[in-house]
Structure 1
Amino acid sequence: MKQGSLNARIIMLLVLGAILLTIGVSAWNSLREIYPTVMAYTYTVSDSMEATGFLVRQETVLTGQGGTVELLPEEGEKVSRGETVALFYQSDDGLTQRQTLQQLMLEQEQLEYALAQAGGSSDSAQLSTRVADAVADLRGAAASGDLTGLESQTMELKSLIYKHSYTFDQEGDSTAALQASLDEVNAQIQSLTAQASHSTSRVTASQPGVFSGLVDGYESLITPDMLDTITPSQLNELSRQTPAEDPSAIGKLITNSTWYFACTLPQEEAERLVEGRTITVRFSRDWSGEVDMEVERLGDAEDGKMVVVLSADKFLSDTTLLRRQTVELVFNTVSGIRLPKEALRVEQQTATDPDTEEEYQVSVTGVYALVGQRAEFKEVTVLSEEDDYILVTAASTETPTQEKKALRAGDKIIISSGELYDGKVIE
């Protein structure tokens, strides 16, 4: 026999032996592990259902005609009566003048700051810190992808840098030079303001409210006044409509802090609600949040369905962009410790009647936990039962002994069907 063939056979036999050894060890371990455990952990079960409906608000559409429009308030920002909410520029020159005017006003602020520092003690150290903080905030926002405040953060940083420059770079008697620069900027602002008044028109708020730049056409199709009589068929018909766009609309004002959610539910589900009580509404799609809403109205049944109208006066500014939404109505939530069903046991224990001192047998529900090397029975109360798990809590913790033996999250729970008793040593 050749030496090469012999070596190859030896190697094959060694590999085969290693495989058989691995299989044998695995089989042995599986046979020995007759008391497998799982970790107990806290869990919350919600009794809830999905519902699709409309957010309804008291809304006034803002309109205007002109060239380029600039919306001044942020989405969801409160505006007061008479406040300018939009500017219309009749030409590109008007927009350029507006941008130049903004830069001049920023420079005006910087010059006024520098003039206040001239000839006196400067808070240069504090200013340097503010510049560093502004740079860090801008970098953090860019890294996280949050660009909502990019413009304001950039303007703030530029302002601080200019102020820093004026504070440190002016030499000698700079007060006169600063004042001259400020006078020149003020003159330019006055001139540009006069010019802009001829090429720019304004849209002002006729009443206080919350501003939104989204006009979807539903503002007149469904209003709070309609919710007192709306039926399931009308709400269903509304969901099939495509509202017409208003080309002159530039935004809207929400003029009442109370907003509504109107939806259609099966009659048996709707009748679980009670007018005047609250229910938690969980938004998770276009906006994530939970709102406690009051049940305003339960409509009359129509073909096994009912209209449900809910109301709230919080989170209005966060929900201005929402209209037709699918939400989760949470009727109730239960929190406890989640365990596999097979971990639950019913044990017979001996109890003593305190009056007659007679002993009798009682059935106790609980689970076995692995404490050190011993099995310890922990009495529990079942809160909820699902298809493949149960939700439990410790049954009683009135005495120090009961408190010590109470079930807690993090306990190792034995799920074996083998024989167990309190105090059994588990090897």
Structure 2
Amino acid sequence: MRKRSKHARAASVLWGSLLVALILFSLGWVYRANWITGSLEVETAQTGSIDHYVTVKAIFANEEYVIQSPASGKVELLGKEGQRFRLGEPVAQIHPEGAAPGSNTQRQTAQVSMPKGGLFFQKVDGLESVLTPESLVNMDLARILEQQENSEAPKDTVQAGVPLGKVVNNLSPTVAFVEVEPSKDLSVGKTVKFNLDDQIRTGKILRVSDNPKGIVVRFNQYLEGTVNKRIQSVQWVAKPSETGIVIPKSALYTKGEELGVYVVQEGILQFRKVNVIDENDSLVCVNNLPQGIPVVKNPRSGIEGLTANVKIPS
């Protein structure tokens, strides 16, 4: 009896130790799994496309005509800067020195009418007859582009014969010289796209230049904001984008020889193989993923099959 009791106690201690070890192991595993999955970040996969923008310098030219003041005196504009006037419509009045606008000296006041229909701008920069759509296409680009603007702030009084302002034909397309490296994909007649102020603008290449390096583009329409700001940085759409499921590039994970991502499926972390069809520095466009599925942004080894202890974006 004593021998059996001794063996029974030993067995009880052994089984008790094993049970404690199993409990501790289970707690440790749960803690480890929660710790690993709790540090994961998740983002919902969405249908979209990836932009391929390259920031380049553009010099714009429009069809412009300078209006000379017919007399000396105080300027009274009859509209707003950038307003469109019809041909022959009065745009300003020049009051003789000492005569105030609205006084009884109208017979001495010179009226300025629009020589052409278009937008009126009071600011001139001296490049109106030099930097034109025609000169960008046909003349020495290096010499044209080295010309410096000579603009002054609009004045309240003017002298006879000096520029009062200019007319811009907004019914004629804007032309621009764009500083890009010429390539076989940038040839005369090709269509190119640019992102200007979050709007995609399309144009056709009219000229390719090696000195200076770049292309001359005629856009499909007049571009607002290119009169008073001839030189701008624009975003050239250097490559067409593919449409698919867009996810962070950091979500890609190589498991063995397969490239894929970890997704949250029914609360469990699962590996899904994907094919990359487009990418940039931060995003990838893939297929083989459904829209709206949660994707792990910072995957790591050992998470396959774990319960997803993560906050799913709404």
TM-score, with structure 2 as normaliser: 0.71
Write the distance in 2 (CA, Å) between the matches of 1:364 and 1:41. 20
Write the distance in 2 (CA, Å) between the matches of 1:67 and 1:29. 86
Q: In the TM superposition, what is the alpha-carbon distance from 1:265 to its structure 2 partner? A: 2.5
Q: In the TM superposition, what is the alpha-carbon distance from 1:59 to its structure 2 partner? A: 1.0
Deviations 1:315-343 (A, max 9, x none): 54443322122222112353642224354
Q: Structure 2 counterpart of 1:79, which letter?
A: F
Answer whether contact 1:76 1:320 (CA < 8 A) is retained.
no
Q: In the TM superposition, what is the alpha-carbon distance from 1:374 to its structure 2 partner? A: 1.1
Write the distance in 2 (CA, Å) between the matches of 1:292 and 1:414. 34
Write the distance in 2 (CA, Å) between the matches of 1:426 and 1:91. 82
**Counterpart residue number, 1:105:** none
**Counterpart residue number, 1:276:** 189
Match of 1:37 among 41, 66, 69: 41
**Counterpart residue number, 2:168:** 254
Q: Structure 2 counterpart of 1:413, which letter?
A: V
Write the distance in 1 (CA, Å) between the matches of 2:136 and 2:163. 25
The answer to whether 1:89 aligns with 2:95 is: yes
Q: Structure 1 counterpart of 2:42, which letter?
A: V
The answer to whether 1:419 aligns with 2:312 is: no
Write the distance in 1 (CA, Å) between the matches of 2:238 and 2:252. 29
Write the distance in 2 (CA, Å) between the matches of 1:41 and 1:425. 20
The answer to whether 1:393 aligns with 2:276 is: no
**Counterpart residue number, 1:63:** 68
Seq. identity, %: 20
Answer whether contact 1:78 1:210 (CA < 8 A) is retained.
yes
CA 1:315 to 1:229, structure 2 compared with 1: closer, same or farther past 3 Å?
Answer: closer
Answer whether contact 1:276 1:294 (CA < 8 A) is retained.
no
**Counterpart residue number, 1:164:** none
Match of 2:228 among 306, 321, 330: 321
CA 1:320 to 1:277, structure 2 compared with 1: closer, same or farther past 3 Å?
Answer: same
Q: In the TM superposition, what is the alpha-carbon distance from 1:56 to its structure 2 partner? A: 0.7
Q: In the TM superposition, what is the alpha-carbon distance from 1:308 to its structure 2 partner? A: 1.0
Q: In the TM superposition, what is the alpha-carbon distance from 1:253 to its structure 2 partner? A: 0.8
Answer whether contact 1:67 1:89 (CA < 8 A) is retained.
yes
Cα RMSD over matched residues? 3.3
Deviations 1:94-121 (A, max 9, x none): 3143xxxxxxxxxxxxxxxxxxxxxxxx
The answer to whether 1:212 aligns with 2:132 is: no
Q: Structure 2 counterpart of 1:370, which letter?
A: V
Q: Which has the higher helix share?
A: 1
CA 1:227 to 1:264, structure 2 compared with 1: closer, same or farther past 3 Å?
Answer: same
Write the distance in 1 (CA, Å) between the matches of 2:140 and 2:262. 55
Match of 1:221 among 130, 153, 156: 130
**Counterpart residue number, 2:24:** none
Q: Structure 1 counterpart of 2:267, which letter?
A: Q
Q: In the TM superposition, what is the alpha-carbon distance from 1:313 to its structure 2 partner? A: 4.2
Q: Secondary structure at the match of 1:95?
A: coil
User: How many residue pairs are counted as aligned between the two chains?
Assistant: 266
Q: Structure 2 counterpart of 1:60, which letter?
A: Y
Q: Secondary structure at the match of 2:247?
A: strand
Q: In the TM superposition, what is the alpha-carbon distance from 1:202 to its structure 2 partner? A: 0.6
Q: In the TM superposition, what is the alpha-carbon distance from 1:218 to its structure 2 partner? A: 0.8
Write the distance in 1 (CA, Å) between the matches of 2:144 and 2:52. 25
Q: In the TM superposition, what is the alpha-carbon distance from 1:392 to its structure 2 partner? A: 2.8
Answer whether contact 1:232 1:307 (CA < 8 A) is retained.
no
Q: Structure 2 counterpart of 1:265, which letter?
A: V
Write the distance in 1 (CA, Å) between the matches of 2:108 and 2:31. 86
Answer whether contact 1:71 1:86 (CA < 8 A) is retained.
yes
Deviations 1:206-250 (A, max 9, x none): 222222222111102222221223445325523xx2437697212
Q: How does 1:289-328 map to 2 (within 5 A)?
A: 289-302=198-211, 305-328=212-235
TM-score, with structure 1 as normaliser: 0.54
Write the distance in 2 (CA, Å) between the matches of 1:89 and 1:311. 41
Answer whether contact 1:338 1:392 (CA < 8 A) is retained.
yes
Answer whether contact 1:369 1:375 (CA < 8 A) is retained.
yes
